[in-house]
């Protein structure tokens, strides 16, 4: 066998690997190279080959080969944990939610264990009795599913996933639950559930009721009795309004999900993982992996089908082996996962594949290629799973499955999934999943203070053919990251589109094209411009339903920014600015007397006292004092207060300051005394204190910069993530 190739990671990829994936010693020092990481993973995953008479060394080389060539990469927990004592390799989990305290708190414990191991969790809260319902054991009334979701949210905030990944959750409530109106509006009216993506589970019956203008019954899950009858269109309009205003909730089409249930004897599929692409049974997990299409195509974007077939077969075998060597966080998860042996093989690099071919994202040609490519991957993946079943046996729950009905032995109940590839796509140096690119160029702050410039390579090549004209064009592209307002040939403008250049219909049609040949589901965000109307959201949801999608998530650019104010004030007012002769901002002079108020916030360093003084009805200065802390910590706190005061006096809106500080993590997060929130760090405490002093809640908007590297944050695949370093707010 030829000597395995040496991995050729880009500098950006190596930065991501150093930051999140490479092993470190107790002092936090990196103790392996990227190549050693791949050998660690390949060796661990090849180990089970001996169980069926295979050669682990031979397969370790093959597994290393596809990863080093960046043709295939598994999900992040596998890269992080394979070959380590932790050994938990799955990304997706679903846990049950019962109606008793014992069941709920049992699942809460399971959630903490899963998040600690590096996984994300999905739940369906529809079995929880509604708020106000009777609790016989205490002669009291129930608090409802949302109150328990808040409990899971707090737990997620406290448990940092294995030191490398933040916890992420999917919360689903079915449209017939009596608390559905509260659920639809929960993220619009408060800053709670920040660690949840939420989706409404809708049925074919509900969609028909909406279409016919019929009424819809809300039913108590405890008693089965009708509690209220409402117009179906009223609920639908509430859902659309919430998604338009804040991006939440999304929609899960439960009957479409169930239609893809290959093992109905195990029950119905009611829940998914955090980004919605993996429907699972309670206590079931799934390990995912993605093929980088750019590594199986030539310079013109033509797919090498033989190479793709070889990559699919090796990848399916790799993922099936992961099930064997995985160290599951609970015995129930171990049993359920091994019972069905679900895997999820998908793709990444779709946007670059289209760039290379000169095909516009969302065009008819792109949709035909999507179906052809995913159809090939699915057929090949199923064939390889059948071959593995011949030597290893079918998955244990094969009896009664769809596959038994086809008289087809299969090693895996499902084979294909289009998953989020936010961080592994950065390692593979390609675009994420089947998403369009978010920007054609952007700048990123480097740790040495320099600014690094990233320009899409395919665009750069196209512009180089224009000769001297390319330099000023590139400079304009760097201003806003797109070709908006740039004079380029029509062909270049048509091909090099970004997420917000693409009509919502083409986003949905792309998702549907891939869904047609995907066993599980597809992770995709339908990006919309800020100018999109609620009717556009409604039409996109209806289109997704009619085309057979299993769910849909939309995000209207800047929508979070429109819900800054939740209690007590009349809106953010622009600060009065004074400038010097050069037009630069000039801090206003401080009057002798100012009026303000003081708030106290508990931190891991003691109580933080913030005094915000007002002038002419606007925030003017901030004093920050930290009790019972060391001199250095107090000095840092005072310095932050002085800089914030200078910013306020120079006309910087308080909400912009809050947005910059809010959510910054630290090593010692603490729960607040009233149990109503988490303080992540001193900067986060100051941001939350400013919110309370002002009576405002600031939601972070899509235009924010990454707190790790300063590059833009994009809303893709159901989550806010950095386009450069892989930082993510939900996984």
Show which residues are catalytic: 273, 275, 277
502 vs 361: CA distance, rounded Å: 8
| b (16+ CB within 10 A) / e for 59-93 | bbbbbbbbbbbbbbbbbbbbbbbbbeebbbbbbbb
Q: What is the DSSP string of 520-569?
A: S-B--EEEE-TT--HHHHHHHHHHHHHTT-SEEEEEETTGGGGG---SS-
717: left (phi over 0), alpha (psi -120 to 50) or beta: left
The 8-class DSSP code of residue 19 comes to I
Structure tokens at 342: 């679900």
DSSP letter for 456, please. Answer: -
Q: Are 133 and 141 in contact (CB under 8 A)?
A: yes
Tally Cβ neighbours within 10 Å of residue 363: 18
Please tell me the total number of residues recorded for the chain in this structure: 731
Q: What is the 3-state secondary structure (H, E, C) of 281-345?
A: CCCCEEEEEEEEHHHHECCCCCECHHHHHHHHHHHHHHHHHHHHHCCCCCHHHHHHHHHHCCEEE
Tokens of 729: 């707010």
115 alpha carbon, distance to own chain's centre: 15
Say if CB 657 and CB 643 are below 8 A apart: no
User: Radius of gyration of the chain from Cα atoms?
Assistant: 26
Three-state DSSP at 575 gives coil
| Listed residue (204, 206, 212) closest to 238, CA to CA | 206
The 3-state DSSP class for residue 100 equals coil
Q: Is the separation of the CB atoms in 314 and 388 below 8 Å?
A: no
Burial of 149 (0-12, 13-18, 19+ CB in 10 A): buried
DSSP 8-state assignment for residue 47: G
Of the candidates 44, 31, 41, 35, the residue with the CA atom closest to the CA atom of residue 13 = 35
Task: Report how many helices (DSSP H) and strands (DSSP E) the chain contains, helices first.
Answer: 24, 27
> How far is 202 from 408, CA to CA, in rounded Å?
32
DSSP reduced 3-state for 619 = strand
Distance CA 678, CA 656 (A): 21
Q: Which of 261, 288, 249 is nearest to 125 (CA)?
A: 249
């Amino acid at each position: 066998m030829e000597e395995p190739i040496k991995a050729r990671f880009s500098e950006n990829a190596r930065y991501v690997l150093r930051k999140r994936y490479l092993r470190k010693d107790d002092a936090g020092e990196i103790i392996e190279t990227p190549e050693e990481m791949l050998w660690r993973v390949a060796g661990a995953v090849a180990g089970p080959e001996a169980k069926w008479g295979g050669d682990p060394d031979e397969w370790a080389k093959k597994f290393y080969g596809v990863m080093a060539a960046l043709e295939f990469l598994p999900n992040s927990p596998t890269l992080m944990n394979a070959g380590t004592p932790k050994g938990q390799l799955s990304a997706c989990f679903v846990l049950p939610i019962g109606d008793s305290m014992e069941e709920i708190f049992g699942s809460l414990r399971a959630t903490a264990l899963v998040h600690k191991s590096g996984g994300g969790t999905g739940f369906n809260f529809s079995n929880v009795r509604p708020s106000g319902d009777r609790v016989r054991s205490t002669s009291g009334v129930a608090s409802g599913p949302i109150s328990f979701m808040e409990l899971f949210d707090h737990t997620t905030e406290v448990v940092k996933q294995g030191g490398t990944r933040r916890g992420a959750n999917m919360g689903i409530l079915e449209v017939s639950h009596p608390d559905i109106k509260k659920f639809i509006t929960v993220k619009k009216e408060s800053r709670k559930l920040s660690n949840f993506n939420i989706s409404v589970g809708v049925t074919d019956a509900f969609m028909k009721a909406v279409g016919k203008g019929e009424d819809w019954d809300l039913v108590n899950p405890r008693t089965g009795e009708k509690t209220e009858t409402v117009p179906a269109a009223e609920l639908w309009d509430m859902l659309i309004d919430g998604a338009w205003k804040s991006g939440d909730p999304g929609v899960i089409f439960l009957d479409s999900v169930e239609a893809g249930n290959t093992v109905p004897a195990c029950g119905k599929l009611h829940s998914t993982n955090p980004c919605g692409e993996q429907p699972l049974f309670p206590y079931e997990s799934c390990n995912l992996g993605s093929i980088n299409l750019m590594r199986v195509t030539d310079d013109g974007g033509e797919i090498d089908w033989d190479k793709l077939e070889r990559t699919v077969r090796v990848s399916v075998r790799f993922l099936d082996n992961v099930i064997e060597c995985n160290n599951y966080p609970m015995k129930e998860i171990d049993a359920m996962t091994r019972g069905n042996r679900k895997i999820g093989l998908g793709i990444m690099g779709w946007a670059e594949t289209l760039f290379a071919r000169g095909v516009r994202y969302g065009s008819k040609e792109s949709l035909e290629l999507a179906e052809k490519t995913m159809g090939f991957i699915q057929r090949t993946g199923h064939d390889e799973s059948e071959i593995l079943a011949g030597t290893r046996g079918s998955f244990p729950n094969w009896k009664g499955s769809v596959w038994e009905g086809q008289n087809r032995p299969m090693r895996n109940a499902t084979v294909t999934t289009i998953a989020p590839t936010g961080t592994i796509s950065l390692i593979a140096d390609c675009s994420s999943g089947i998403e369009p690119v978010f920007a054609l160029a952007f700048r990123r702050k480097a740790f040495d203070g320099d600014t690094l410039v990233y320009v899409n390579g395919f665009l750069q090549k196209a512009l180089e053919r224009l000769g001297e004209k390319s330099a000023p064009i590139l400079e304009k592209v760097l201003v806003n990251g797109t070709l908006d307002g740039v004079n380029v040939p029509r062909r270049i403008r048509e091909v090099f589109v970004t997420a917000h250049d693409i009509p919502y219909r083409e986003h949905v049609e792309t998702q549907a094209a891939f869904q047609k040949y995907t066993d599980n589901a597809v992770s995709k965000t339908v990006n919309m411009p800020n100018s999109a109307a609620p009717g556009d959201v409604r039409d996109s949801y209806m289109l997704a339903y009619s085309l057979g999608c299993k769910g849909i998530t939309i995000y209207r650019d800047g929508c979070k920014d429109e819900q800054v104010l939740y209690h007590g004030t009349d809106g953010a007012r622009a600060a009065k600015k004074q400038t010097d002769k050069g037009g630069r901002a000039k801090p206003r002079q401080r009057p002798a007397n100012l009026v303000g108020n003081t708030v106290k916030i508990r931190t891991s360093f003691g109580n933080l006292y913030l005094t915000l003084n007002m002038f002419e009805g606007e925030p003017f200065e901030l004093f920050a004092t930290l009790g019972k802390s060391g001199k250095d910590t107090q000095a840092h706190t005072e310095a932050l207060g002085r800089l914030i005061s200078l910013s306020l006096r120079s006309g910087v809106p308080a909400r912009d300051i809050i947005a910059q500080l809010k959510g910054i993590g630290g090593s010692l997060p603490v729960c607040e005394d009233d149990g109503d929130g988490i303080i992540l760090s001193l900067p986060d405490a100051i941001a939350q204190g400013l919110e309370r002093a002002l009576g405002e809640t600031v939601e972070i908007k899509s235009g924010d910069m990454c707190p790790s590297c300063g590059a833009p944050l994009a809303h893709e695949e159901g989550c806010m993530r950095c386009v450069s370093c892989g930082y993510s707010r939900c996984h």
